[in-house]
Amino acid sequence: FEWAWQHPNSSRRLLAPPTRRPREQPISFALRLLPRLLRAPPWSRLPLKIRWLRPPRPALELAPPTHMVEEEGAGLPRLKRKKGRSQDLEVEDCGCGLCGEAQATPLLRCPRPHCDMAAHPPCLARLFLAPEPQQLLPVGGACPR
């Protein structure tokens, strides 16, 4: 991504890269190019975060894909979350909510507060990619429960 962003005319990812306008600053050109790159494969399906370090957020000609999150500020340091044993045992005892097997792969839990759905990432990927069989990464999906 970095290389394609710095060399848009040499990259094969952009079919018609924009040209730099006369007297356009390099950062302005890079910001004009950014949403085009984010909408191009292979980056268009990745769950990327765009973090603007200094407000105000610049206005982009095109919006990034809807599943990409935009944030402002330097961000808070990530704190390590302690897992309780009861939470791990509850998920492990149930197994995958889609295939029913308990494998070594960690289970993903539904983010809704009272839903106890847990499934293997590959099982969820197969379910979410059923309408798009040519893709490798799902952009999103609904909880099967």
**pLDDT computed for residue 77 by the predictor:** 64
**pLDDT computed for residue 29 by the predictor:** 92
pLDDT tens-digit readout, 66-112: 888 888 887 666 666 666 544 444 444 568 888 888 777 788 888 88
> What's the chain's average pLDDT?
82
Report how far apart, in Å, the C-alpha atoms of 89 and of each of 81, 94, 126 are. Answer: 17, 9, 25
Within 10 angstroms of residue 119's Cβ, the number of other Cβ atoms is: 25
User: Which of 58-67, 91-100, 106-115, 121-130 is least confident?
Assistant: 91-100
- Cα separation, 114 vs 65, whole angstroms: 29
> In this prediction, what percent of the chain has a pLDDT beyond 70?
86
Residue 64 pLDDT greater than 60, yes or no: yes
- Cα separation, 21 vs 31, whole angstroms: 13
Which residues have C-beta within 8 Å of that of residue 61, sequence separation ≥ 6? 32, 35
- Find the mean pLDDT for residues 31-52: 88
Q: What is the pTM of this model?
A: 0.59
**pLDDT computed for residue 82 by the predictor:** 61
**pLDDT computed for residue 25 by the predictor:** 92
